[in-house]
């Protein structure tokens, strides 16, 4: 049916479809009906990608919410560095995860962000993240951990460190379904999903610790995996939420970084993304730029990218996966109404802006953070660009 974006600002409390009659407007209806869900989005993305990430998940949930009403609530993780404009936006439209307290959500989505330190547990928001993880285990039916958030979660829970590749896995990568689960019901056995990462997780390590791998890429390892705790934890190494031009914007950003001297590595062209003729032009410029780097090449790259039109070939599959996730939340709500009666009571007055003490639930880390090794190494234009790990 619809997705209603709920925030600290009345201007954001509106259905994403733009109508006023397509979603329940009261928390009562959202919390108590098994056809109505409350989903939180913890948006950790960099300042330039903050609002585009809101849009991506709002559109994806809208596509997936057939027959359902979904209230999307925005949350910010304390400790994430922010500039003035982004902090102002968060202050107006987000609640802090520290305010979750006794709140219960049907579902939660937690994004990643580009790390600032070699070790994830040295990130300035690490303590806030681990508290959120413990809260999610006790107070959600299911939580989605996206990309870096997935890496950080398994590191904290089971001491599984991510592995850095010798090249970036970037593009719309072919994936295969390798085990049956309700989340992959009616999803093609082979499909393609955007990935944009240097790091990955070793499948054997995940399976040894009790994770179930659902889908695997053709050449970049695990795509989606899960673990049933008190909450069903769903982990994506890819980005089903990406819009058609997100990888283009990332490539443009990374080319600019190369010409500014911020990196010595020219960015990898996204796989199975650009049209063949565009690939040929960009590859020719890459070869010239690596041999004789001059600023004029940057203008030529931008000129090509400004004329490119990308078809979103993965949205249908992405919406199918998230539709299955929303249906799972609904089915659990029907099977365990006692949880959601408590949820409705707990949510009264909890959002936005209610103050509550932190929840006591915690996920116990496998080892002390300081004992984790550093990651290993093995051999359109106007919109903001997400920064991906």
Active site residues: 147, 239, 241
List the one residue out of 80, 126, 73, 82 whose CA is nearest residue 103.
73
- Tell me which DSSP letter residue 10 carries: G
Pairing of strands 376-378, 232-236: unpaired
Structure tokens at 272: 């199975």
- ω into residue 79 within 30 of 0, thus cis? no
Backbone torsions φ then ψ of 373, nearest 5 degrees: -75, 160
End-to-end C-alpha distance for the chain, whole angstroms: 34
CB hemisphere CA count around 316 (13 angstroms): 6
CA geometry: angle 175, 239, 244, nearest 5 deg? 100
Q: Which residues pair with 371 in a beta bridge?
A: none
Pairing of strands 14-15, 222-228: unpaired
């Amino acid at each position: 049916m619809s997705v209603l974006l709920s925030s600290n600002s009345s201007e954001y409390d509106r259905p994403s479809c733009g109508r006023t009659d397509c979603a329940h407007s009261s928390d009562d209806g959202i919390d108590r009906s098994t056809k109505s869900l409350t989903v939180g989005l913890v948006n950790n993305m960099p300042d330039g990608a903050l609002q585009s990430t809101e849009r991506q998940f709002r559109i994806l949930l809208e596509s997936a919410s057939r027959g359902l009403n979904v209230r999307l609530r925005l949350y910010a993780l304390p400790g994430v560095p922010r500039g003035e404009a982004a902090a102002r936006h968060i202050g107006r439209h987000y609640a802090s995860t520290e305010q979750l307290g006794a709140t219960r959500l049907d579902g939660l989505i937690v994004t990643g962000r580009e790390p600032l330190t070699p070790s994830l547990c040295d990130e300035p928001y690490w303590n806030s993240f681990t508290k959120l993880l413990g809260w999610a285990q006790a107070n959600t039916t299911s939580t989605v951990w996206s990309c870096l958030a997935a890496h950080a979660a398994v590191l904290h829970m089971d001491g599984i460190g991510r592995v850095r590749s010798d090249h970036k896995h970037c593009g719309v990568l072919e994936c295969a379904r390798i085990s049956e689960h309700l989340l992959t019901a009616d999803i093609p056995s082979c499909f393609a999903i955007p990935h944009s990462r240097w790091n990955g997780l070793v499948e054997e390590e995940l399976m040894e610790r009790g994770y179930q791998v659902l889908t695997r890429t053709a050449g970049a390892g695990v795509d989606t995996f899960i673990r049933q705790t008190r909450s069903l934890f769903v982990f994506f190494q890819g980005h089903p939420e990406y819009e058609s031009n997100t990888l283009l914007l990332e490539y443009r950003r990374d080319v600019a970084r190369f010409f500014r001297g911020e990196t010595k590595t020219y960015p990898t062209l996204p796989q199975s993304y650009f049209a063949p003729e565009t690939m040929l032009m960009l590859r020719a410029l890459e070869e010239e730029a690596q041999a004789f780097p001059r600023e004029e090449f940057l203008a030529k790259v931008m000129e090509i990218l400004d004329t490119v039109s990308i078809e979103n070939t993965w949205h249908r599959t992405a919406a199918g996966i998230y539709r299955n996730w929303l249906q799972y939340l609904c089915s659990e709500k029907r099977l365990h109404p006692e949880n959601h009666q408590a949820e409705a009571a707990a949510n009264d007055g909890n959002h936005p802006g209610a103050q509550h003490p932190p929840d006591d639930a915690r996920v116990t880390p496998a080892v002390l953070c300081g004992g984790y090794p550093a990651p290993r190494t093995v051999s359109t234009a106007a919109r903001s660009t997400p920064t991906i790990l």
